[in-house]
């Protein structure tokens, strides 16, 4: 009996020990689970922060790409688009690199979004200016049809509208007395950015040339290139030759505004400077700020429409 009692006791102790072991194991497993769960929560939170930062950059890059494409040729100054392209390249690089930190993703998102907004704003301004120019052109009466042509309906062509013999701008008149077509070098200045096809500088009266330099700076800022020129100063001998060749379309020799160094002709290229082109509309709108105007006779509804002719009135 004693042996049985001992055996029972031993079994009881063994069972108790097993229960303790089981409880300890369970507690330990529980702790491991909790730890694993905690790690998973922290990791998920980090993944979610990085994921949302990355998502924001993906969205910003998509907008940037769309704006960059839509704004091509539709901003006054392409610098904003160049900045946007650089930001987009950085965004693409950050998205391609799995190691980009949350801080980097957020910074690139911010610069990309700012560049995108600046470009979109510049594009909106440009579009508004185009619409205003188009509205202004629509208000300008069409010229009376000349010679049976319907040029107004034809699309702008870049073939010259000039059909006469070639004439060139004139050098200063050595020993000139200062009258029309006889301006001495001291009365004239050459414009800085171009010469005519024969290498003759484009001369204008000194004050008109200085004003045109300022006008050209603004023109270049708007269009990205210098103002085109065809003829400026025209000496008396050339006025005589033009009158003989062209008849009354050319001014009576000694009366041309080109003879006083106060007129210029832009190239007779209708797609560039013709009626209703952005370039001509800009010149008509902005030229007067620099003293350069279109005389009433040269306007589209004037007595001798010449879209290429501008005069300096100071
Ligand atoms: Zn002219």
In a domain, 145, yes or no: no
User: What is the DSSP secondary structure assignment for residue 260, as one 8-state letter?
Assistant: G
* 310 CA to centre of ligand 1 in angstroms: 7
Ligand 1 centre distance from Cα of residue 5 (Å)? 133
Q: Does residue 107 sit in the same domain as residue 57?
A: yes
Domain count, the chain: 2
CA distances (Å), origin 1, targets 5, 8, 260, 273 = 6, 10, 144, 126
Q: What is the pTM of this model?
A: 0.51
d(CA 43, CA 284): 65
Sheet holding 263-265, edge to edge: 263-265, 309-312, 292-293
Distance 28 CA to ligand 1 centre (A): 99
Collapse the DSSP code of 232 into the 3-class scheme (helix H, G, I; strand E, B; otherwise coil) and give the result.
coil
pLDDT in tens, 165-179: 888 999 999 999 999
Q: Residue 309 C-alpha to ligand 1 middle, in angstroms?
A: 4
Instruction: Give the distance (Å) from ligand 1 centre to CA of residue 203.
Output: 13
Q: Output the CA 283–ligand 1 centroid distance in Å.
A: 15
Domain shared by 173 and 275, yes or no: yes
Q: How far apart are CA 195 and CA 252, in angstroms?
A: 26
CA of 60 to the centre of ligand 1 (A): 51
Burial 85-101 (b: 16+ CB within 10 A, else e): bebbebbbebeeeeebe
CA atoms within 13 A on the CB side of 9: 6
Evaluate whether residue 154 is within a structural domain: no
Q: What is the pLDDT of residues 24-41, one digit of tens each?
A: 666 666 767 667 666 666
Residue 38 Cα to ligand 1 midpoint, Å, equals: 84
Chain Cα centroid distance, residue 42: 48
- CA 96/CA 109 separation, integer angstroms: 14
Backbone angles phi, psi at 192, to 5 degrees: -90, -20
**CATH code: domain of residue 283:** 3.30.1380.10
The structure tokens 């702008």 sit at 156
Q: 120, 137, 154 — which closes off a domain? A: 137
**Are residues 69 and 177 part of one domain?**
no
> Could you list the residue range(s) of the whole structural domain that residue 227 is in?
163-312
Question: How far, in Å, from the CA of 255 to the mean position of ligand 1?
Answer: 12
4-28 tens-digit pLDDT? 666 676 776 677 677 767 666 666 6
User: What is the whole-number distance in angstroms between the Cα of residue 307 and the centre of ligand 1?
Assistant: 9
CA–chain centroid gap for 57, Å, is 25
> What is the C-alpha radius of gyration for the chain, rounded to an integer number of angstroms?
39
Q: Where does a domain end: 103, 120, 137?
A: 137
**What's the pLDDT at 307?**
96
Distance 267 CA to ligand 1 centre (A): 10
Q: Which of 137, 155, 190 is the last residue of a domain?
A: 137
80 Cα–ligand 1 center, Å: 37
Name the least confident of 12-26, 86-100, 299-313. Answer: 12-26
Within a domain: 82: yes
């Amino acid at each position: 009996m004693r042996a049985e009692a001992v055996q029972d006791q031993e079994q009881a102790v063994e069972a108790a020990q097993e229960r303790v072991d089981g409880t300890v194991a369970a507690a330990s497993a529980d702790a491991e689970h909790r730890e694993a769960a905690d790690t998973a929560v922290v990791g998920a939170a980090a993944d979610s922060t990085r994921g949302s930062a990355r998502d924001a950059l993906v969205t910003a890059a998509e907008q940037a790409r769309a704006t960059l494409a839509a704004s091509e040729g539709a901003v006054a100054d392409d610098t904003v688009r160049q900045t946007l392209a650089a930001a987009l390249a950085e965004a693409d690089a950050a998205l391609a690199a799995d190691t980009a930190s949350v801080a980097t993703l957020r910074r690139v998102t911010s610069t990309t979004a700012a560049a995108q907004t600046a470009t979109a704003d510049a594009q909106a301004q440009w579009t508004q200016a185009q619409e205003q120019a188009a509205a202004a052109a629509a208000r300008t009466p069409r010229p009376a049809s000349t010679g049976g042509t319907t040029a107004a309906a034809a699309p702008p062509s870049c073939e010259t509208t000039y059909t006469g013999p070639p004439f060139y701008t004139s050098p200063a008149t050595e020993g000139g007395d200062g009258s029309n077509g006889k301006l001495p070098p001291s009365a004239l200045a050459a414009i800085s950015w171009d010469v005519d096809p024969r290498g003759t500088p484009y001369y204008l009266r000194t004050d008109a040339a200085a004003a045109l330099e300022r006008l050209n700076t603004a023109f270049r800022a708007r269009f990205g290139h210098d103002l085109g020129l065809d003829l400026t100063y025209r000496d008396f001998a050339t006025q005589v030759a033009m009158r003989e060749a062209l008849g009354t379309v050319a001014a009576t020799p000694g009366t041309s505004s080109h003879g006083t160094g106060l007129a210029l002709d832009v190239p007779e290229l209708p797609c560039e400077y013709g009626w209703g082109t952005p370039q001509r509309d800009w010149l008509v709108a902005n030229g007067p700020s620099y003293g350069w105007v279109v005389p009433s006779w040269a306007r589209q509804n004037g007595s001798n429409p010449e879209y290429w002719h501008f005069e300096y009135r100071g």
